[in-house]
A and B are shown apart, each in its own frame.
Chain A
Amino acid sequence: MVKFLLNRLAMMLLTMLCASFLVFAVCEYTPGSVARKSLGPFATQQQVDLLTAKLKANDPLVVRYGRWLGVLVGAIPDPLQDPSTGLNFKDPRGSQYFGNFGYSTLNKLPVNDVIWNRLGNTAILAGLAFLLIVPLSIIFGILSGLKEGGPLDRTLSVICITFTSIPEFASGVFLVTLFVILWPILPGTSPLNSDGGWAIPYQFVLPVAVLVIYDFGYVARMIRVSMIAVMERPYIRTAVLKGMSTRRVILGHALRNAMIAPFTVLLLQINFLISGVVVTELVFAYPGFGRLILEASLFGDISTLEAATLITVAIAVVTQLLGDLGYMLLDPRIRVR
Chain B
Amino acid sequence: MDTDEHPYIPTLIADLTSRGISRRDFLRKATLLGMSAAAAYSLAGISEPSVARAEDMPKGGNLRIGMRCMEIKDPHLADFAEKSNVIRQVCEYLTLTDRNNITHPYLLEKWQVSDDLKTWTLHIRKDVKWRKGGKALTADDVVWNLKRVCDPAIGSSMLGLFTGYLVQEYDGGEKDDKGNPKKSSKLWADNAIEKVDDATVRLNCFAPQIAVPEHLYHYPMFILDPAENGAFGADANGTGPFEIVEYTVGKGAKYKARSDYWGTGPYLDTFEYVDLGDNPGAGIAAVASRQVDGLSEADAVQVNAMKNFPHVAVYKVETTQTVVARMHPDAEQFKDKRVRQAMRYAIDREKIIQTSLLGAGTPAEDHHVAPSHPEYAALAKYPRDIEKAKKLLADAGYPEGFEFDMVTRPDPIWELNTAQVLAEQFKDIGVTINIKSLPSAQYWEVWTTAPFSLTAWGHRPLAIMTLSLAYRSNAAWNESHYSNAEFDQLLTQAEGILDPKERSKVMAKIEAIMQDDGPIVQPFWRIFSTVMDKKVKGFELHPSQYIFAHQYAIAA
Residues on A close to B: CB < 8 A?
31-33, 36-44, 46-47, 50, 88, 106-108, 169, 172-173, 176, 180-181, 184, 186-189, 191, 195-198, 281-285, 287, 291-292, 295, 298-300
Q: What residues on A are CB-neighbors of B64 within 8 Å?
A: 195-196
Chain A CB within 10 Å — which of B154, B279, B287, B440 has the most? B279
Q: Is the CB of A42 within 8 A of B441?
A: no
Q: Is the CB of B289 within 8 A of A184?
A: yes
With A40-B444, A196-B291, A300-B441 known as contacts, the answer to whether A189 contacts B73 (CB < 8 A) is: no
Q: What residues on A are CB-neighbors of B447 within 8 Å?
A: 41
Q: What residues on B are CB-neighbors of A292 within 8 Å?
A: 250
Q: A284 CA to B291 CA in the complex, in Å?
A: 12
At the interface with chain A, which of B192-200, B269-277, B348-356?
Answer: B269-277
A181 to B, closest residue via Cβ:
B288
CB distance from A32 to the nearest CB of B (A): 4
CB distance from A4 to the nearest CB of B (A): 42
Q: What residues on A are CB-neighbors of B73 within 8 Å?
A: 38-40
A203 to B, closest residue via Cβ:
B291
Q: A22 CA to B155 CA in the complex, in Å?
A: 34
The 7 listed contacts between A and B (C-beta, < 8 Å) are: A37-B444, A39-B77, A106-B249, A189-B291, A191-B251, A195-B64, A282-B277
Chain B stretch 264-315: residues in CB contact (< 8 A) with chain A: 272, 274-279, 281-282, 284-292, 309
| Interchain Cβ contacts within 8 Å, total number | 136
Q: Is the CB of A291 within 8 A of B250?
A: yes
With A43-B155, A283-B282 known as contacts, the answer to whether A188 contacts B289 (CB < 8 A) is: yes
Chain B stretch 147-179: residues in CB contact (< 8 A) with chain A: 152-155, 157
CB distance from B280 to the nearest CB of A (A): 10
Q: Is the CB of B249 within 8 A of A196?
A: no
Chain B stretch 93-141: residues in CB contact (< 8 A) with chain A: none
Q: Is the CB of A285 within 8 A of B445?
A: no
* 8 A-B pairs closest in CB distance: A188-B285, A196-B291, A41-B444, A285-B282, A188-B289, A187-B289, A32-B445, A189-B286
**Beyond A47-B154, A189-B289, A195-B62, 7 additional pairs, beta carbon < 8 A:** A37-B444, A107-B71, A188-B287, A188-B288, A195-B64, A285-B279, A287-B251
Residue from the list A31, A37, A282 in contact with B282, Cβ < 8 A: A282
Q: Is the CB of B441 within 8 A of A44?
A: no
Chain B stretch 418-455: residues in CB contact (< 8 A) with chain A: 439-442, 444-448
Binary contact readout B45-78 vs A (1 if CB under 8 angstroms, 0 otherwise): 0000000000000000010100000010100010
With A291-B277, A298-B439, A300-B441 known as contacts, the answer to whether A180 contacts B250 (CB < 8 A) is: no
Residue from the list B77, B154, B285 in contact with A40, Cβ < 8 A: B77
The interface size bin for chain B is 35 or more
Q: Is the CB of B290 within 8 A of A197?
A: yes
With A42-B477, A196-B292 known as contacts, the answer to whether A180 contacts B285 (CB < 8 A) is: yes
Q: Is the CB of B288 within 8 A of A31?
A: no
With A108-B71, A298-B439 known as contacts, the answer to whether A284 contacts B282 (CB < 8 A) is: yes
CB distance from B235 to the nearest CB of A (A): 14
With A106-B71, A189-B285 known as contacts, the answer to whether A42 contacts B248 (CB < 8 A) is: no
Residue from the list A31, A282, A285, A287 in contact with B442, Cβ < 8 A: A31
Q: A101 CA to B481 CA in the complex, in Å?
A: 42
With A42-B476, A47-B155, A108-B71 known as contacts, the answer to whether A32 contacts B281 (CB < 8 A) is: no
Q: Is the CB of B441 within 8 A of A188?
A: no
Q: What residues on A are CB-neighbors of B287 within 8 Å?
A: 188
B79 on interface, CB distance cutoff 8 Å: yes
Q: A106 CA to B71 CA in the complex, in Å?
A: 7
Q: A173 CA to B281 CA in the complex, in Å?
A: 8
CB distance from A68 to the nearest CB of B (A): 21
Q: A108 CA to B247 CA in the complex, in Å?
A: 11
Residue from the list A31, A36, A187, A281 in contact with B291, Cβ < 8 A: A187
CB distance from A222 to the nearest CB of B (A): 31
B83 to A, closest residue via Cβ:
A40
Q: Is the CB of A41 within 8 A of B248?
A: no
Q: Is the CB of A44 within 8 A of B155?
A: yes
Chain B CB within 10 Å — which of A50, A187, A188, A196 has the most? A188
Q: Is the CB of B71 within 8 A of A38?
A: yes
Q: Is the CB of A41 within 8 A of B79?
A: yes
Residue from the list A46, A106, A176, A197 in contact with B285, Cβ < 8 A: A176
Residue from the list A42, A172, A300 in contact with B281, Cβ < 8 A: A172
B287 to A, closest residue via Cβ:
A188
Q: A47 CA to B230 CA in the complex, in Å?
A: 15
A282 to B, closest residue via Cβ:
B279
Q: A180 CA to B233 CA in the complex, in Å?
A: 34
